[in-house]
Amino acid sequence: MKNERNKKGQFASGNTGRPKGAVNKLTTLQKVKIEKVLSLLEKTLDEDITKLKAKERVDLWASLQEFIRPKLQRTSIELGTPEDRVTKITFEVVKADD
């Protein structure tokens, strides 16, 4: 089936476009280039990460988390009436007995 189109650029009736399973050549080329860059960066990645300042490492860790762990949705919980609102929470650090 030819990729014939009408004057509006739409495929002719009965033509669904690219055959099922056909690979987009541009996307494939881009993936190959990205893989090459990643393989070059992988060689120095450990060294580069150890050279980062502590804050930069934490920022990197935090930004990478979203790719492997689901984000928790922020929620707001109303607890009773406005008079019952919690305005201060205090934590106490207690040294554990060894």
| Model confidence pLDDT, tens digit, residues 41-93 | 998 999 999 999 999 999 998 888 888 877 777 667 666 676 777 778 888 88
Provide the domain limits for residue 54.
44-73
In a domain, 49, yes or no: yes
Residues 6+ apart with CB under 8 A from 2: 15
In a domain, 35, yes or no: no
In a domain, 87, yes or no: no
In a domain, 68, yes or no: yes
Mean pLDDT, range 26-38, rounded to an integer: 90
Tokens 């690979």, residue? 23
Spatial separation of the C-alpha atoms in residues 49 and 42, rounded to whole Å: 11
In a domain, 90, yes or no: no
pTM surpassing 0.75?
A: no
Task: Give the chain's domain count.
Answer: 1
Report whether pLDDT(38) > 60: yes
pLDDT bucket at 98, cuts 50 / 70 / 90? low
In a domain, 6, yes or no: no
pLDDT bucket at 11, cuts 50 / 70 / 90? confident
